[in-house]
Amino acid sequence: QMRLVCAYSNNGWSNGVPECNKTDPECRPGCWDWCDGLPTVKKKPHWCSFPPWRLKEAMEEQDQLYSFGHHERRYVNDQKFNELIMDTWRQPWASALPSMIKAVFVQAGSDAPEEKYGEQVHNKLLMYFGLNKSDVPILEYNASSAHTPFRPFRRTAGGGLMAP
């Protein structure tokens, strides 16, 4: 089932998109007009979204944005990220939970409160669904590590354990 509605190469400001009638097949909540093919590095990246069939292009543009030094300082640790809008209104997800959750992750370089929040989310998820840590691990995500972007999470901020 196709759940991806649109993608952004960085922060898409999706919470600012005007509401639409969710029964309308053309409704794309959280998605701005489709990008026209021009690199969004030349304009405000959040003014257009990529349709699902152009996901690869959105991810390639994300790499371009950050190779040009484009990043907005108001985001946590200047981490490289994208935004994907998933359909939860036409096809509710409840029946697919918890099997659709493969992991919880904390971004590399997070500070102590962010790491603690990630651990709290992970623990609450495990308790809510009666799962073990081996069912849904908590991982560290490092976007600059091309070969191993995910690895087991170890608290690094605030005097905790360092990742191996």
By C-alpha distance, which of 137, 132, 153 is closest to 101?
Answer: 137
Query: Can you give the pLDDT at residue 22?
Result: 80
Q: State the SS3 of 80-106.
A: CCCEEEECCCCCCCHHHCCCCCCCEEE
Tens digits of per-residue pLDDT, 75-105?
A: 444 556 778 898 887 777 888 889 989 999 9
Instruction: Using the predicted structure, report yes or no on whether residue 112 has a pLDDT greater than 60.
Output: yes
List the beta bridge partners of residue 140: 106, 151
In angstroms, the CA 137 to CA 52 distance is 28
pLDDT band at 62 (very low <50, low <70, confident <90, very high): confident
Judge whether 109 and 77 are in contact, CB under 8 Å.
Answer: yes
pTM metric for this prediction:
0.61
Any idea how long the chain is? 164
